[in-house]
Amino acid sequence: MALLNILRYPDPRLHKIAAPVTEFGTDRLRKLVADMAETMYDAPGVGLAATQVDVHERVVTIDVSEAQDKLIVFINPEITWASDEKQVYDEGCLSVPGVYDGVERPAQVKVRAFDVDGKEFNIDADGLLAVCIQHEMDHLMGKVFVEYLSPLKRNRIKAKLQKEERGMARDAAQRSARR
Residue ranges binding Zn ion (CB under 5 A): 93
Q: Which of 105, 119, 19 is nearest to 73 (CA)?
A: 119
**Residue 3 DSSP one-character state:** P
Determine the Cα–Cα distance for residues 120 and 70; give it in Å rounded to an integer. 18
Task: Pick the binder of ligand K1U from 20, 44, 102, 167 (CB under 6 A).
Answer: 44
Q: CA 37, CA 61: separation in Å to the nearest integer?
A: 6
The Cα–Cα gap between 51 and 39 comes to 13
Taking CB under 6 A as the criterion, the residue among 10, 50, 58, 91 binding ligand K1U is: 91
Residue nearer to Zn ion on the CB measure, 93 or 130: 93
Q: Which of 4, 36, 46, 111 binds ligand K1U (CB under 6 A)?
A: 46
- The reply on whether position 93 binds ligand K1U by CB under 6 A is yes
**How many Å is the Cα radius of gyration of the chain?**
17
* Cα atoms in the 13 Å half-sphere on the side-chain side of 71: 17
In the chain, alpha helices (H): 27-42, 127-140, 151-178
Query: At 141, which amino acid appears?
Result: M
Total count of residues recorded for the chain: 179
Q: Which one from 38, 91, 104, 136 is the annotated catalytic residue?
A: 136
Asked about 23 being catalytic, the answer comes back as no
- Answer yes or no whether residue 101 interacts with ligand K1U by CB under 6 A: no
Nearer to ligand K1U, 17 or 173 (CB): 17
What, of ligand K1U, Zn ion, none, does residue 45 touch, CB below 5 to 8 Å by kind?
A: ligand K1U
Residue 48 or 72: which CB sits closer to ligand K1U? 48
**Binding mask of the shown chain, residues 1 to 40, with x at each position contacting ligand K1U by CB under 6 A:** ----------------------------------------
Residues tagged active-site: 136
- The residues that touch ligand K1U, with contacts defined as CB under 6 A, are 44-49, 89, 91-95, 131-132, 135-136, 139
